[in-house]
Amino acid sequence: MLKKLKGIGLLLVANLLISITLYIVFQVLANVVLPAFGIDIRGSVNEYMLLYAGVLGFGGAFVSLAFSKQFARAMLDCYQVTEPKTRQEEVVFQTVRELAQRLHVQMPEVWIFDAPDPNAFATGPTKNNAMVAVSTGLLANLNEEEVRSVLAHEMGHVWNGDMFTTTVLAGLMNTFVYFIAMWVRRMFEARDQAGLGIIASIVLQIVMSILAMIVINWFSRRREFEADRFAGKAYGPAPMISALESIQRYVEAAQVEYSTQDALATMKISGGTGGWMNLFATHPPIEERIAALKRLA
């Protein structure tokens, strides 16, 4: 609990510092850098707002990407594996090293975090500066071949540069949301309705952010299929199918135990729950991923 509270505090402080930094960057660009090149947007409202939206949208996304490893470690009760001491640590460490050597990339940091559910993720700013983490629940519920396939899936994300491409997409979506919200607010201010403009821009930003998440999550689901495909090519489709089936059994058992529709949806393991909620899932349903792997086989 203290670890999580500390992580949340660090994230809040980091976001505040990021906001201050981005505001300074915007002021320098708009008032110093661009005028030095003969580009003065200070008298043009639309261009001024677009630059500000771009700095906020892309700046926030790329700063989050740059510190993604640090943020992940701050939020988890985890430890890094550099010299494996157990058989499980050996499997994880050697698999990541083997795949990194195959791909000719710098070996990602290897971390294990304490969580009962079978989970894993990869993050980092570049394919040569990444980390791969697995949960204790993954190691407890999957056999060695299945663990290797899951690690290959995560290395597929690293190799495909999914963290970077998702960040670019998020930056574009954020820029669009910020720009439209600011534009609407300026329209109300021009009519001497500043208070109403603030409310309208906030509501519009919330609604458009939700719509942007649908686009970003759709892209994320496509990348999951590609990462599964990478794992299937690395070790064959069968172990990855078996890993997904093991995770599905855990999901079903958890649903019964906790009497919820999808006990692990928030952990981004089991994907969509069906219907329109699938639009907000970062992972496809496990059944669809298994079907895709069977087609590959």
Instruction: Provide the annotated active-site residues.
Output: 154
The answer to whether the beta carbons of residues 228 and 153 sit under 8 Å apart is: yes
CA distance 297 to 290: 10
Amino acid letter at 262? Answer: D
Among left, alpha and beta (phi > 0; psi -120 to 50; other), residue 199 is: alpha
Among left, alpha and beta (phi > 0; psi -120 to 50; other), residue 112 is: beta
Which residues partner with 121 through β-bridges?
133
The DSSP 8-state label assigned to residue 33 in this structure reads: I
CA distance 17 to 54: 18
Cα 167–171–176 angle (5° rounding)? 150
Whole-number Cα distances in Å, 193 to 44, 53, 196, 199, 200: 21, 22, 5, 10, 10
The DSSP 8-state label assigned to residue 42 in this structure reads: T
